[in-house]
Amino acid sequence: MAFDLLITNGTVVTATDTYQADLGVEGGRITAIGARVARDNATRVIDAKDRLVMPGGIDVHTHLDMPFGGTTSADDFETGTRAAAFGGTTTLIDFAIQYKGQTLRTAFDAWMQKAASKATTDYAFHCIITDLPDARLDEMDALVREGVPSFKLFMAYPGVFMLDDASIFKAMRRTAKNGGMICMHAENGGAIDVIVQQALAEGKTAPKYHALTRPTTAEAEATARAIALAQMAGAPVYIVHLSCNDALEKVREARDRGLPVYAETCPQYLYLSLENMEAPGFEGAKYVFTPPLREKWHQEKLWQGLKQDNLQVVSTDHCPFCFKEQKELGKNDFTKIPNGGPGIEHRMSLVYSGGVASGRFSANRFVELTSTTPAKLFGLYPRKGTIAVGSDADLVIFNPTRKHTISAKTHHMRVDYSMFEGITITGVPEIVMSRGRVIVENNEFKGKAGSGNFLKRAQYAGV
């Protein structure tokens, strides 16, 4: 057998197994897995001794080149996928936004255009629906057929993205029929708006009021409502960026009842807390995203949720805005600070470090949370999300003991600060491959813009 690439001596880690094996790669796919694969016919051999060989990370929640809050997120599909690759993430699912009055196809076409010539790794889209008259419901079926089988709906941001309950329920009923999945931003936007207006009237304009005006109960209420609507519609629901124990309890209860309810959290909720919002001056703006940061005690509840499968995925909600000029748009009014934070680059290391290196869960569970379950839930498995003969050779050679201190000085995201500045993580991706091409090695980027493919995803089929 001839191979383009042979990876020898590594410890292969999947969601279910850990074993010593060589991997042969040909034509961008894994074509051989064996105790010792003959190496005479390999164009290149990589020695992975003392390293873990894992499937590339899948980040199912990113916002690249996204117009929001009077500006546009700072990473485009080139800089964003490049930074993701440095961190061991080789597939993204971003969001195509349907603005009011537009067809869903217009959204899909617009985001395809943003990505096509720029993405350095493979990518897919969810569709954000902000306007759903009955005449538009058929368009959901068409998108599912074209490989976009998931839709993000908002219960927050009134007047911008928020949908009313009737539209949410109709969308859910449609996905129950067409094999789609609803991704829900669960916060009670109406109640939050009342609290926000009161804060502004009282002169509370500093960044920390972004967090103080969005209580955990508003997230828990919306999470419970989303679950109830999905149950009535007979649809699966995936709660995005879950930030607090109150909402986690609603997901846990629903899963205990056997409902197809899933949820993700993000590294910012696992590592950061309300204390970050108290940073001096306007620094708290670096942590303005929704849902907001919570009291510190929620962090351990979320880690335990990941361990116990009450949470199934860690994504980033990467939505970067530079501190200078972008976050500063809200200098005198926290409601004008563009909502979002940068995280695409460090998800894998942060979850490995806090999850595996700290002894909370196994390396297999790490792979499940960051790659396998995202692939299964969102129609990419087994092409992505595992190491198996026939799967794409999206692979990470990971050093589980190497340490790195995160800093904006060394990161690759196009943003002038890091939410995780100064945090030292254990576990670093050293070589990253996308469909068998080495795209990161020796801390150098070797990929190229436009080489990422759009991934047509299959319908929801459970996990």
276 binds, among Zn ion, ligand URP, none (CB under 5 to 8 A by kind): none
How far apart, in whole angstroms, are the C-alpha atoms of residue 199 and residue 180?
39
Q: Which is nearer to ligand URP, 285 or 356 (CB)?
A: 285
How far apart, in whole angstroms, are the C-alpha atoms of residue 78 and residue 57?
17
How far apart, in whole angstroms, are the C-alpha atoms of residue 297 and residue 277?
16
| Helix, strand, coil percent content, the chain, rounded in steps of 5 | 35, 25, 40
For residue 119 the two structure tokens come to: 């993405």
Q: Which is nearer to Zn ion, 82 or 185 (CB)?
A: 185
Residue 197 CB, nearest approach to ligand URP (Å): 19
How far apart, in whole angstroms, are the C-alpha atoms of residue 25 and residue 9?
15
How far apart, in whole angstroms, are the C-alpha atoms of residue 457 and residue 459?
7
Contact (CB, 8 A) for 88 and 396: yes
289 binds, among Zn ion, ligand URP, none (CB under 5 to 8 A by kind): ligand URP
Q: Which is nearer to Zn ion, 209 or 238 (CB)?
A: 238
340 binds, among ligand URP, Zn ion, none (CB under 5 to 8 A by kind): ligand URP
Contact (CB, 8 A) for 342 and 320: yes
Q: Which is nearer to Zn ion, 12 or 156 (CB)?
A: 156
Binding mask 295-334 for Zn ion (x = CB under 5 A): ----------------------x-----------------
Q: Please give the residue whose beta carbon sits closest to Zn ion in the complex.
A: 185
Binding mask 230-269 for ligand URP (x = CB under 6 A): -----------x----------------------------
Q: Which is nearer to ligand URP, 12 or 199 (CB)?
A: 199
How far apart, in whole angstroms, are the C-alpha atoms of residue 179 and residue 86?
34
Total residues binding ligand URP (CB under 6 A): 9
Q: Which is nearer to Zn ion, 241 or 252 (CB)?
A: 241
How far apart, in whole angstroms, are the C-alpha atoms of residue 167 and residue 173?
10
Q: Is 320 in the site for ligand URP (CB under 6 A)?
A: no
Q: What is the DSSP string of 331-349?
A: TT-GGGSPP-B--TTTHHH
244 binds, among ligand URP, Zn ion, none (CB under 5 to 8 A by kind): none
Residue 154 CB, nearest approach to ligand URP (Å): 7
Rounded to 5 degrees, φ, ψ at 89 are -100, 125
Residue 110 CB, nearest approach to Zn ion (Å): 17
Q: Is 224 in the site for ligand URP (CB under 6 A)?
A: no
Q: Are strands 395-405 and 52-55 parallel, antiparallel or unpaired?
A: antiparallel
Q: Is 62 in the site for ligand URP (CB under 6 A)?
A: no
If you compute the radius of gyration of the chain from its CA atoms, what whole number of angstroms results? 21
Residue 337 CB, nearest approach to ligand URP (Å): 10
Contact (CB, 8 A) for 356 and 434: no
Q: Is 319 in the site for ligand URP (CB under 6 A)?
A: yes
Q: Which is nearer to ligand URP, 185 or 301 (CB)?
A: 185
Q: Which is nearer to ligand URP, 67 or 390 (CB)?
A: 67
Q: Is 317 in the site for ligand URP (CB under 6 A)?
A: yes
Q: How many residues does the chain have?
A: 463
Indicate which single residue of 149, 189, 207, 340 sits in contact with ligand URP (rule: CB under 6 A): 340
CA distances from 7 to 23, 28, 360, 391 (A): 5, 13, 29, 15
Residue 320 CB, nearest approach to ligand URP (Å): 10
Indicate which single residue of 290, 315, 349, 370 sits in contact with ligand URP (rule: CB under 6 A): 290
How far apart, in whole angstroms, are the C-alpha atoms of residue 149 and residue 364?
27
Contact (CB, 8 A) for 9 and 49: yes
Site for Zn ion in 159-188 (CB under 5 A): 185
How far apart, in whole angstroms, are the C-alpha atoms of residue 405 and residue 137?
48
Q: Is 339 in the site for ligand URP (CB under 6 A)?
A: yes
Residue 190 CB, nearest approach to ligand URP (Å): 16
How far apart, in whole angstroms, are the C-alpha atoms of residue 91 and residue 452?
9
How far apart, in whole angstroms, are the C-alpha atoms of residue 74 and residue 326?
9
How far apart, in whole angstroms, are the C-alpha atoms of residue 343 and residue 59?
10
Q: Which is nearer to ligand URP, 68 or 169 (CB)?
A: 68
Site for ligand URP in 163-202 (CB under 6 A): 185
Indicate which single residue of 289, 334, 378, 460 sits in contact with ligand URP (rule: CB under 6 A): 289
Q: Which residues bind ligand URP (CB under 6 A)?
A: 63, 185, 241, 289-290, 317, 319, 339-340
Q: Which residues bind Zn ion (CB under 5 A)?
A: 185, 317
